[in-house]
């Protein structure tokens, strides 16, 4: 009997091994919303050095000398960025943050440490859609167009590099480029632009969870903020609903000491957040980024949508009334009411679909397909991709498409199986 | 072989194949139109399972967020100026000093410093637990004070925490809240940051408690050796994870105001 059992067992396992046709992917979080919000559990992440042990500094450059900013926003006059460097000559990688994220966000810090640990100098830049970049480095003050954002980024990268080498005196052997989410789409456009300019001649370009059609992706994220949640009526506040759950959770606990792994603790309790609640959280964070973007872009362009064109915002001026109005504008609203009219004025007779195409990876398909030094990492359950987008990545990048069955939007980038593969690619050992 | 072994073997096998099957991607698909022999995990749309509101009046996000902006803040102009001052002080003075402190001292020394000052704070924590009638918590905090002050050598080691008695902060602002005192106007205090009329008053009372109890003569000692106040101030920032700019928004002031208000409601309730 036992021998038979073992034989059946072995047979079954072989059958599975052959069906899967690939190395078994064992990322533990199969729920895309949990993966997106919480990422890999700490004990399973690729270990990276502590922040204090990284040789790094924050620097700033004046990219647009003529840009006028009101006193309340004067700290964004210079573009701030983060540099981590080595004393020996080494490759330098530029890293571009995702939608509404800054150079100092925790995801960027993690990737920075991962790259730095592997022996690269790292320069981290804010997303062109982040308020600081819009104020300090966006020529049009209206991000969202692939080619224009790439020009802004390329300039910012050159200036940041000069500044960093001036101050820190490190030597660069070759240039690489990586971006996360919208930053990955930006990286693709920057890489293409650089083939015409010949400035950096990137040896490797890594796209981490890129959108394919930007406007379709932001539409999906907007949608998350309209998720219906069981138990939240048309008169309730979603935040209060979440806080009540947390409150009940704490009431059941013996003490009120807040732990570092609080999120996992809650998700394993009766008050665990449901998928619609997690989706709404992702959507809400994104909506706040959209409000920031819409507000900043309008302010720089004196559009008068939120702040009257002639009003000076002082440090003491309340921005709350502007936020109240900007909250209503989701990302699609920004595209339709700000980006599109500006584009249409320069492109009479063309359609919004043509504008969308110009900012999608589809417009770069031939370039991406024919460049062996560009790879993309994504997941079959990435929130920002629809089926066509996902298939586009598989089809365009072929064996340079590192696609995984789970991980949501970027949740598995710190997982060894995933990270080791893209690090091998960056370091030039990819098969 | 005893039946129990192969039984467990069989269950193990079923369980193992079960997990492997559950974890294995349901299918791999060839997506390429270019004749490449590559298979990829099959796409599935996480949004399919969500019920997305397509109505004209889908205002859940707006309704919730607008309510969150209703915080009593009559001194907003002044508060915003102080907030800005604090942010700049933090960036140019406070954080660089803390970074130097982290660079110059070993981890274990910093931990000891934090434990020492946290132990002193258990005095007002105890007072406020008593005032709120939380007797179990008071007993636990008393035990902490005894264990840490004696076994933990004046509080340098948090032995009580290892014994399952974590610190349970209670301040006078919370005590007032428990007795129904509303937070009152939002206040940003120079150097210390977000607070409210109630909680700011509470801080003064807690300070007075620490001063009067003068536990282990710490106040006398610190006043005699004034450099210790510097270490106290550095440790205060070292223990605070908040970073200006971390919310990545021109509306950071508004968001911090809401989060602070909620955090305090929370602490009063628990």
At B15-43, the pLDDT tens digits run 333 333 344 445 677 765 555 567 899 99
Q: Which residues of B touch A243 (CB under 8 A)?
A: 262, 265-266
* A14 in contact with chain B, both atoms CB, cutoff 8 A: no
Does some domain include residue B70? no
Does some domain include residue B68? no
Q: Which of A2, A80, A283, A332 best probes binding to B when mutated, by most B CB atoms within 10 angstroms? A: A2
Residue B194 β-bridge partners: B188
- Distance separating alpha carbons of residues B17 and B6, to the nearest angstrom: 16
Backbone angles phi, psi at B89, to 5 degrees: -60, -45
Q: Which letter does DSSP use for residue B93 in this model?
A: I
Decide if A237 and B248 are in contact by the 8 Å CB cutoff.
no
Does residue B152 sit in the same domain as residue B48? Answer: no
- Distance separating alpha carbons of residues B96 and B110, to the nearest angstrom: 16
Does residue B81 sit in the same domain as residue B210? Answer: yes
B184-225 residue pLDDT tens: 999 999 999 999 999 999 999 999 999 999 998 889 999 999
Decide if A73 and B250 are in contact by the 8 Å CB cutoff.
yes
Decide if A320 and B254 are in contact by the 8 Å CB cutoff.
yes
Structural domains in chain B (count) = 2
Decide if B20 and A16 are in contact by the 8 Å CB cutoff.
yes
- Distance separating alpha carbons of residues A248 and B269, to the nearest angstrom: 10
* A378 in contact with chain B, both atoms CB, cutoff 8 A: no
The position carrying tokens 């370039």 is A367
At residue A282, the pLDDT reads 94
Please check the confidence at residue A429 and state whether its pLDDT lies above 80.
Answer: no
A263-301 residue pLDDT tens: 888 888 888 999 999 999 999 999 999 999 999 999 999
Q: Which residues of B touch A395 (CB under 8 A)?
A: 31-34
| 3-state SS assignment for residue B55 | coil
CB crowding A89-125: b at 16 or more within 10 Å, else e: ebbbbbbbbbbbbbbbbebbbbbbbbbbbbebbbbbb
Decide if A408 and B46 are in contact by the 8 Å CB cutoff.
yes
At residue B5, the pLDDT reads 39
Decide if A394 and B40 are in contact by the 8 Å CB cutoff.
yes
A317-335 residue pLDDT tens: 999 999 999 999 999 999 9
Among A32, A223, A405, whose Cβ lies nearest the Cβ of B25? A405
* pLDDT tens across the length of chain B (270 residues): 344 333 444 334 333 333 333 444 456 777 655 555 678 999 999 999 999 998 888 999 999 999 999 999 999 999 999 999 999 999 999 999 999 999 999 999 999 999 999 999 999 999 999 999 999 999 999 999 999 999 999 999 999 998 989 999 999 999 999 999 999 999 999 999 999 999 999 999 999 999 999 998 889 999 999 999 999 999 999 999 888 988 889 999 999 999 999 999 989 987
Q: Which residues of B touch A100 (CB under 8 A)?
A: 248
CA distance A20 to chain B (A): 7
CA distance A137 to chain B (A): 16
Structure tokens at A185: 């789409």
Q: Which residues of B touch A30 (CB under 8 A)?
A: 23
Q: List A residues 340-369 in contact with B (Cβ-Cβ < 8 A).
A: none
Closest A-chain CA to B73:
A318
Does residue B226 sit in the same domain as residue B102? Answer: yes
Q: Which letter does DSSP use for residue B225 in this model?
A: S
At residue B55, the pLDDT reads 87
Please check the confidence at residue A16 and state whether its pLDDT lies above 70.
Answer: no
Signed CA dihedral, A48, A53, A54, A58: sign only: positive
The position carrying tokens 């802004």 is A152
* A212 in contact with chain B, both atoms CB, cutoff 8 A: no
Does some domain include residue B255? yes
Q: Which residues of A touch B20 (CB under 8 A)?
A: 13, 16, 24
Domain containing residue B214: 75-269
Decide if A131 and B248 are in contact by the 8 Å CB cutoff.
yes
ipTM: 0.88
Among B36, B99, B245, whose Cβ lies nearest the Cβ of A398? B36
Does some domain include residue B62? no
Among B13, B99, B245, whose Cβ lies nearest the Cβ of A9? B13
Residue B188 β-bridge partners: B194
pTM: 0.88
CA distance A185 to chain B (A): 20
Backbone angles phi, psi at B71, to 5 degrees: -120, 135
Does residue B155 sit in the same domain as residue B107? Answer: yes
Quick one: which of A41, A169, A50 has its CA closest to A113? A50
Structure tokens at B202: 């509470």
The position carrying tokens 């040896």 is A203
Closest A-chain CA to B107:
A52
Q: Which residues of B touch A380 (CB under 8 A)?
A: 25, 40-44
Does residue B10 sit in the same domain as residue B92? Answer: no
Decide if B40 and A403 are in contact by the 8 Å CB cutoff.
yes
Q: Which residues of A touch B245 (CB under 8 A)?
A: 102, 104
* A21 in contact with chain B, both atoms CB, cutoff 8 A: yes
| 3-state SS assignment for residue B63 | helix
Does residue B230 sit in the same domain as residue B114? Answer: yes
C-alpha angle A133-A134-A139 in degrees, rounded to nearest 5? 105
A71-84 residue pLDDT tens: 999 989 999 999 99
Q: Give a three-class secondary structure readout of chain A.
A: CHHHHHHHHHHHHHHHHHHHCCCCCCCCCCCHHHHHHHCCCHHHCCCCCCHHHCCEEEEEECCCCCCCCCHHHHHHCCEEEEEECCCCCEEEEEEECCCCCCCCCHHHHHHHHHHHHCCCEEEEECCCCCHHHHHHHCCCCCCCCHHHHHHHHHHHHHHHHHHHHHHHCCCEEEEEEEEECHHHHHHHHHHHHHHHHCCCCCCEEEEECCCCCHHHHHHHHHHHCCECCCCCCCCCCHHHHHHHHHHHHHHHCCCCCCCCCHHHHHHCCCCCCCHHHHHHHHHHHHHHHHHHHHHHHHHHCCCCCCCCCCCCCCCCCCCHHHHHHHCCCCHHHHHHHHHHHHHHHHCCCCCHHHHHHHCCHHHHHHHHHHCCCEEEEEECCCCCCCHHHHHHHHHHHHHHEEEECCCCCCCCCCCHHHHHHHHHHHCCCCC
The percentage of residues in chain A with a pLDDT greater than 70, rounded to a whole number, is 92
User: Domains of chain A: which residue ranges?
Assistant: 32-216+355-426, 222-346
CA distance B97 to chain A (A): 14
CA distance A155 to chain B (A): 22
| 3-state SS assignment for residue B40 | strand
Decide if A5 and B6 are in contact by the 8 Å CB cutoff.
yes
Asked whether A296 and A338 are in contact (CB, 8 A), the reply is no
The position carrying tokens 């003529």 is A66
CATH architecture group of domain A32-216+355-426: 3-Layer(aba) Sandwich (3.40)
Does some domain include residue B60? no
Quick one: which of A75, A82, A84, A181 has its CA closest to A131? A75
Q: Which of B12, B23, B32, B248 best probes binding to A when mutated, by most A CB atoms within 10 angstroms? A: B248
Structure tokens at A387: 């089926």
Does residue B216 sit in the same domain as residue B257? Answer: yes
Decide if A104 and B76 are in contact by the 8 Å CB cutoff.
no
CA distance A383 to chain B (A): 6
Does some domain include residue B208? yes
Quick one: which of A108, A110, A141, A114 has its CA closest to A126? A108
Among A2, A12, A327, whose Cβ lies nearest the Cβ of B66? A327
Asked whether A167 and A59 are in contact (CB, 8 A), the reply is yes
How far, in Å, are A238, A377, B3, B18, B24 from residue B14 at the CA level? 42, 33, 16, 6, 15
Does residue B131 sit in the same domain as residue B7? Answer: no
- Distance separating alpha carbons of residues A225 and A23, to the nearest angstrom: 36
Decide if A2 and B54 are in contact by the 8 Å CB cutoff.
no
Among B40, B58, B267, whose Cβ lies nearest the Cβ of A401? B40
Does residue B28 sit in the same domain as residue B132? Answer: no
- Distance separating alpha carbons of residues B141 and B166, to the nearest angstrom: 9
A176-216 residue pLDDT tens: 999 999 999 999 999 999 999 999 999 999 999 999 999 99
Asked whether A319 and B251 are in contact (CB, 8 A), the reply is yes
Does some domain include residue B151? yes
Does residue B129 sit in the same domain as residue B249? Answer: yes
Backbone angles phi, psi at B90, to 5 degrees: -60, -50
At residue B46, the pLDDT reads 95
At residue B27, the pLDDT reads 66
């Amino acid at each position: 009997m036992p021998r038979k059992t073992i034989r059946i067992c072995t047979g079954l396992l072989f059958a599975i091994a052959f069906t899967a046709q690939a190395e078994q992917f064992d990322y533990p979080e199969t729920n895309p919303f949990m993966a997106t919000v919480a990422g890999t559990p700490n004990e399973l992440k690729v270990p990276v050095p502590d922040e204090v042990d990284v040789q790094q500094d924050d620097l700033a450059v004046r990219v647009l000398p003529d840009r006028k900013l009101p006193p309340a926003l004067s700290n964004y006059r210079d573009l701030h960025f983060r540099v981590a460097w080595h004393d020996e000559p080494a490759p330098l990688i530029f890293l571009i943050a995702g939608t509404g994220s800054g150079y100092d966000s925790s995801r960027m810090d993690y990737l920075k440490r991962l790259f730095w640990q592997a022996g690269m100098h790292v320069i981290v830049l804010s997303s062109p859609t982040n308020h600081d970049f819009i104020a300090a480095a966006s020529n049009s003050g209206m991000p969202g167009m692939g080619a224009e954002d790439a020009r802004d980024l390329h300039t910012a990268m050159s200036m940041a590099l000069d500044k960093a080498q001036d101050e820190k005196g490190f030597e660069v052997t070759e240039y690489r480029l990586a971006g996360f989410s919208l930053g990955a789409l930006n990286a693709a456009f920057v890489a293409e632009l650089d083939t015409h300019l010949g400035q950096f001649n990137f040896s490797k370009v890594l796209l981490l969870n890129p959108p394919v059609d930007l406007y379709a992706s932001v539409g999906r994220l907007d949608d998350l903020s309209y998720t219906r949640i069981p138990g939240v009526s048309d008169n309730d506040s979603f935040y209060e609903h979440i806080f009540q759950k947390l409150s009940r959770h704490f009431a059941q606990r013996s003490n009120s000491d807040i732990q570092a792994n609080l999120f996992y603790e809650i998700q394993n309790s009766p008050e665990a957040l449901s998928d619609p609640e997690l989706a709404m959280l992702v959507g809400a964070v994104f909506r706040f980024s959209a409000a920031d973007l819409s507000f900043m872009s309008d302010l720089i362009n004196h559009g008068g949508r939120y702040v009257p064109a002639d009003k000076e915002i002082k440090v003491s001026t309340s921005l709350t009334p502007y936020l109240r109005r900007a909250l209503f504008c989701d990302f699609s609203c920004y595209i339709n009411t700000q980006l599109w009219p500006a584009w249409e004025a320069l492109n009479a007779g063309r359609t919004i679909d043509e504008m969308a195409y110009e900012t999608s990876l589809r417009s770069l398909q031939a370039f991406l397909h024919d460049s062996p030094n560009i790879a993309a990492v994504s997941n079959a359950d990435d929130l920002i991709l629809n089926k066509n987008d996902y298939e586009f990545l598989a089809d365009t990048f072929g064996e340079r498409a590192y696609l995984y069955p789970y991980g949501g939007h970027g949740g598995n980038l710190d997982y060894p199986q995933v990270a080791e593969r893209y690090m091998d690619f960056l370091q030039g050992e990819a098969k | 072989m005893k039946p129990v072994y192969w039984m467990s073997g069989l269950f193990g096998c079923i369980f193992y194949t079960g997990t492997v099957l559950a974890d294995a991607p349901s299918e791999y698909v060839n997506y390429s139109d270019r004749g490449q022999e590559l298979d990829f995990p099959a796409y599935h749309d996480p949004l399919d399972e969500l019920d997305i509101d397509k109505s004209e009046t889908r205002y859940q996000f707006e309704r919730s967020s607008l309510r969150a902006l209703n915080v009593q803040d009559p001194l907003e102009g002044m508060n915003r100026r102080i907030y800005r001052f604090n942010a700049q002080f933090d960036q140019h003075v406070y954080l660089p000093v803390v970074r130097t402190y982290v660079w110059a001292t070993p981890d274990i020394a910093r931990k000891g410093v934090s434990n020492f000052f946290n132990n002193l704070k258990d005095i007002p924590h105890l007072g406020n637990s008593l005032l709120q009638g939380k007797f179990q918590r008071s007993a636990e905090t008393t035990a902490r004070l005894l264990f840490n002050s004696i076994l933990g050598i004046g509080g340098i080691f948090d032995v009580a925490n290892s014994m399952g008695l974590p610190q349970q902060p209670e301040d006078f602002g919370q005590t007032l809240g428990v007795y129904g005192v509303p937070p009152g106007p939002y206040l940003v205090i120079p150097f210390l940051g977000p607070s409210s009329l109630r909680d700011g008053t509470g801080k003064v009372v807690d300070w007075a408690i620490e001063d009067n109890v003068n536990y282990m003569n710490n106040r006398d000692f610190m006043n005699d050796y004034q450099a210790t106040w510097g270490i106290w101030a550095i440790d205060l920032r070292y223990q605070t994870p908040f970073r200006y700019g971390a919310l990545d928004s021109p509306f950071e002031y508004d968001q911090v105001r809401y989060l602070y208000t909620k955090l305090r409601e929370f602490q009063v309730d628990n």
